[in-house]
Amino acid sequence: MTRIDDLFSRTKDRAALIGYLPVGFPDVATSIEAMVAMVEGGVDLVEVGVPYTDPGMDGPVIQVAVDAALRAGTRIAHVFDAVAEVSRHAPVVVMGYWNPVEKMTPKVFAQRLKQAGGSGAITPDLIPEEAGPWLEAAKEQDLDPVFLVAPSSTDERLEVVGRTNRGFVYAASTMGVTGTRDTVSNRAEELVGRMRGHTGLPIGVGLGVSNGEQAAEVAAYADAVIVGSAFVRALQDEGVDAVRRLAQDLANGVRRRA
C-alpha cells in the first residue's frame, strides 16, 4: 500500500483535500514553507508543481507564478528538494508537464522522485497510450501515475484511465485552464458518476474550487477536492499565513460534508 492508498483509507468518511503550489514562487524557500503551511492548515496531500515554460493547462494566476519561478532560476533539482521536505509532513505528488521528465528520462526521474520521498506524479499532457516508459519506471519505483479525465472524455478514455491510474483519478471539472471560479461546473458531478463506472480508485475533482463552501459542495460527491490557483493567489497577495488560513477554510469545508 502506497502513502496515497493509506491516505484514502484513512479519509473514507470524508473527502481528502489536495493542494497545489509551484516550486520557486516567490522563491524556493518560501514556496516550500507555504506547502508545509498548507498541511498545517489541513491539506492531506500536496501537489508540488514543476515550473515549465509552456503550462498549457494552467490559467493566468499559475502562469505568472511559474514564469516568476523560472526567471528566478528554479530548476528541476529544486523540485526534488521541495518533495524531500514536504513529504516529511504529508504524501506528495509532483504535478508537471512531460517534457522535463522526458529530458531527464522517466527512469531517472522516477528514481529521484522516489529517493526524495515522493508518492507519484500527475502528468496533464501525457496520455496512458503514450506513457509506456513512464509507467514502467513508476512501477519499478512503486510510484502512482495519475492521468486526467475531463467532461469531454469518452467512455473508452475513462476505461483506459481507470485501469491505468494508481492512487487516484484526477477529474477536471470543466473544459479550459485552471483558475478560481464563482461556481464549480455542474458537469463535474456527472463526470465523477461516469468515472465510477470504470474504476474503484478514489476520484478527485479540480479546477475552480476557491473557498470552503465550494469545497463542501464538491466533497458531497468526490473523494478528493483539488485546489491550486486559489493557493497561488493567496501566496501572491498575502503570503504564507494566507495560505494556511485558506487551507483551514477548505479543510473545514470538506469536513462539513463528512
130 secondary structure, DSSP code:
G
Given the residues 44, 58, 189, 223, the one annotated as active site: 58
Phi and psi, residue 79, nearest 5°: -65, -45
The yes-or-no answer on residue 58 being catalytic is yes
d(CA 134, CA 140): 10
Residue in 32, 75, 30 with CA at minimum distance from that of residue 51: 75
Given the residues 5, 13, 33, 47, the one annotated as active site: 47
3-state secondary structure of 127: coil
d(CA 230, CA 216): 15
The yes-or-no answer on residue 237 being catalytic is no
* H/E segment holding residue 237: helix 229-238
Q: Which active-site residues does the annotation give?
A: 47, 58
